[in-house]
Structure 1
Amino acid sequence: MKALFMTFQYILPCDGISKKIVAQNKALKCNGLDVELACFDRDESGRLIYKIDDRTIETYGKGIAAKIKKRCLFGKLAKYISDNDIRFVYVRYIHFANPFFVDLFRRLRKNGTVIFLELPTYPYDSEYKNLSLRSFVSVYTERLCRRWLAKYVDRIVTFSSHDQIWNHPTVRISNGVDMDEIPVRSAPPKNPAALNLLGVAGLMFWHGFDRLIEGLREYYRTLQPVKVVFNIVGGKPDSEIVRELKDKVRRYGLQEFVIFHGEMSGSALDDLFDRNDVAVGCLGCHRKNIVHVKALKNIEYAARGIPFIYSESNEDFDFKEYVLKIPANESPVDIAFLVAFSKNMNMFPEEIRTSVNRLTWNEQMSKVVKVLNQII
């Protein structure tokens, strides 16, 4: 069956979401679909384009005009899907609903194309705070149009526990990994006088890394026998959240104990995993009113074979020996408790990795294909 994995974002080499999209696309192929990947890119002249694999479908140009066109010009995309007899479109939804996207979905559905819409996070309205006027207009438009858009969708793919979203049946899956792309770490020798923590994230307010910094502030108010260092990877240097975290570290005098590495990937990131003892997942999902979530980061940590902490409810990991679940509130992380957890955690990296063998993208996307085959 010919299919299209349709996303309206860039595919970037150091971006975790981009890696997820590529892995999902690969998994659909492994599950028997003849699938292509559609995304934004830039051509050699710096013009914004929309491409399918290596073929340019639409050229939007540059500047403000390009930003407007990319949200309303879909005629060539609809024609490509029709001309190439693409029967299934899998769409990663990043809150883009507007009347033009609704019309695109309507045209695809009229031609008999089956549409699955993936919601990476649900609910998501609480992600938007302190909006500018332009952002407010975009968010308000999305809220008005998303149920209209969903009228033309056959299934909504979710990582949540919802059986229905917007009065549509869901396909419930977990996040997954491509084991071929994630090496198992070489755990460092245990040092009773040191604990190294590693958090890898795009750094948004719901990652809650400030809770761990607050915990370090409390921990170091007295002389401690174990030196705890928090290594943070990711986040744009000029982003508001990075500036806030760095300012907090300076005010608390924790520069020796909190290290910002910026964006990392490849062998440099692999080496950092080899030098750390415990990883840090999301500590603030409650800030966007989410209780149950199957975070991709948790699976990536487990695939690397590193124990980790988080605060949400996650049925894939809640009772694992190598997981420390902390309260989903604004309390500082109890660093002494974290030190004790690491001291008593004796699983080998290979054992942790084996525990997530079923959480591969091949396995998770097979659930999507199974439902698809029941519809077509």
Structure 2
Amino acid sequence: MEPTFDKFQIKVFFMKRKGLFIAFDNLTYNPNIINDTKPSEVNGLEKKIFYQINTFKKYGFEMFFYNPYLNRNSLIEKITRRLPFHFLEKWDFDFSAINSFSFIYIRKPWFMDGDLIFTLKKIRKIAPSIKIFLEIPTYPYDHEGKDFKMLPLKIKDKLWRKYLFKYVDRIITYSDDDYIFDIKTIKVSNAIDYELVKRKKILNSIDNSFNMIAVSSLYYWHGYDRAIEGLKNYYEGTHSKEVNLYIVGTGPEFVKYEKLIKEYDLENHVFLTGYKSGSALDDLYDKCIIGLDSMGRHRSGVSFNSSLKGKEYCAKGLIIVSGVKTELDLDGEFNYYIRVPADETPVDFVSVVEKVDNYLSSENIFDIQTKIMEYSKNKFDYEVALEPVKKYIDNI
């Protein structure tokens, strides 16, 4: 017999197909960010929030966005938030509406504090059955902030995160951890809008040079000094191919890289381009066949990383070289992936070139890039990546 639902049950079902997305700091949700914002003005985190919320909408949820800090972001409050027992006095949110939501999806704040914990406690009291997710983009993260001024925030985070297990149902993680802070995880991959970032021009052939690209904000954990050191060794020895590296972005390591390039006389092979976007970035991608993912994640204590940049490299049809374990290590179907050791040794580009040559000996570059792009579309598009979260919600 087919199951039947009375009008009240149907009304409750549709009422509960609502989700609340919470973010912190200065982050907002702009529903027109892709169409109305110049590429140079797009905040990468806000773009990710846009795609996550829109994906939940595609799944059939009515989504709402809230940031408790947007109206409380004065300089004084930014300073006092660092104090161990300082909380916001009140979130300007109508908590009587909490029962209308089936789930809350929270993007981890810069640091955990009592403000978040006591709010979650209040939500649990009002709506015991609501499902609460906390996304932690990088784990572990304790080694990411090296400045002394970060110490009060780290202490505050360690103090308050111990209480998360009382209120959070699942941690959304890009790591391979089964539990974080004694909370069961849902493992997902970082995701992309494939149609937006896919390669514009697929190569038909390549000459005797291999062009590589590394796009990042140039923090110490990106580790591209290992690549520069590796190219120094490569050109000092016998080499079969010309290998060039385009490092795209700005950040704390820029000056360090600049000095190394000059010291090793690599100005004709390593190019610091600064920030690029739009067609200028596409032009660089179009000449490259290799993408360098993070080379120094071990420096921040991370042993597994699902980087957003790695997904973009896939969408661009690039052979990926990574210095940290990723989901590509676990997938026997993906053949165009090279892992180098997660340590301080220079990248062995003799070995990298040899492996790329092996790929090209059996397939042409056009077929390789096409296969990588199709793989990306099937594995890392947002609707695919967030499916485990949707399944969990649907089974509530």
Same fold (TM over 0.5): yes
Write the distance in 2 (CA, Å) between the matches of 1:84 and 1:168: 23
Worse overlay, 185-194 or 111-120? 185-194
Matches within 5 A, 1:1-376: 1-9=17-25, 10=27, 13-39=41-67, 50=70, 58-61=71-74, 63-65=75-77, 68=80, 72-73=87-88, 75-79=90-94, 82=97, 85-112=100-127, 113-129=130-146, 131-132=147-148, 134-222=149-237, 224=239, 226-236=241-251, 239=252, 241-317=253-329, 319=332, 320-345=334-359, 346=363, 347-356=367-376, 357-375=378-396
Percent identity of the aligned residues?
A: 29
Write the distance in 2 (CA, Å) between the matches of 1:64 and 1:146: 24
The runs of 5 or more residues in structure 2 that have no matched partner are 1-16, 29-39
Question: Are the aligned partners of 1:184 and 1:304 in contact in 2 as well (CA < 8 Å)?
Answer: yes
Write out the 4+ residue segments of structure 1 that deviate beyond 6 Å after TM superposition: none
Write the distance in 2 (CA, Å) between the matches of 1:80 and 1:170: 26
- Tell me the CA shift for residue 163 of structure 1: 2.1
TM-score by length of 2: 0.81
RMSD of aligned alpha carbons: 2.6
2:13: which partner in 1?
none
SS in 1 for 2:295: coil
Question: Are the aligned partners of 1:5 and 1:38 in contact in 2 as well (CA < 8 Å)?
Answer: yes
Count of aligned pairs: 354
- Tell me the CA shift for residue 370 of structure 1: 1.7
Given residue 265 of structure 1, which amino acid in structure 2 is its aligned partner?
A: S
Question: Are the aligned partners of 1:200 and 1:233 in contact in 2 as well (CA < 8 Å)?
Answer: yes
For 1:313-352, what per-residue CA distance to the aligned partner results, in whole angstroms no more than 9, with x for missing partners? 2233554221111122211111222223333334432211
SS in 1 for 2:55: helix
Given residue 21 of structure 2, which amino acid in structure 1 is its aligned partner?
A: F
Flag the 1:266–1:192 CA change in 2: closer, same or farther, 3 A: closer
Worse overlay, 293-302 or 15-24? 15-24
Write the distance in 2 (CA, Å) between the matches of 1:83 and 1:313: 39
The runs of 5 or more residues in structure 1 that have no matched partner are 41-48, 51-57
Question: Are the aligned partners of 1:196 and 1:228 in contact in 2 as well (CA < 8 Å)?
Answer: yes
State the structure with more CA Rg. Answer: 2
For 1:80-137, what per-residue CA distance to the aligned partner results, in whole angstroms no more than 9, with x for missing partners? 67379444210111442111221222222222143200111222223233x31x3101
Write the distance in 2 (CA, Å) between the matches of 1:316 and 1:161: 12
Given residue 338 of structure 1, which amino acid in structure 2 is its aligned partner?
A: V
SS in 2 for 1:195: strand
Write the distance in 1 (CA, Å) between the matches of 2:43 and 2:267: 27
Flag the 1:90–1:124 CA change in 2: closer, same or farther, 3 A: same
Question: Are the aligned partners of 1:186 and 1:349 in contact in 2 as well (CA < 8 Å)?
Answer: no
Given residue 391 of structure 2, which amino acid in structure 1 is its aligned partner?
A: K
In terms of fraction of residues, the more strand-rich structure is 1
- Tell me the CA shift for residue 309 of structure 1: 0.5
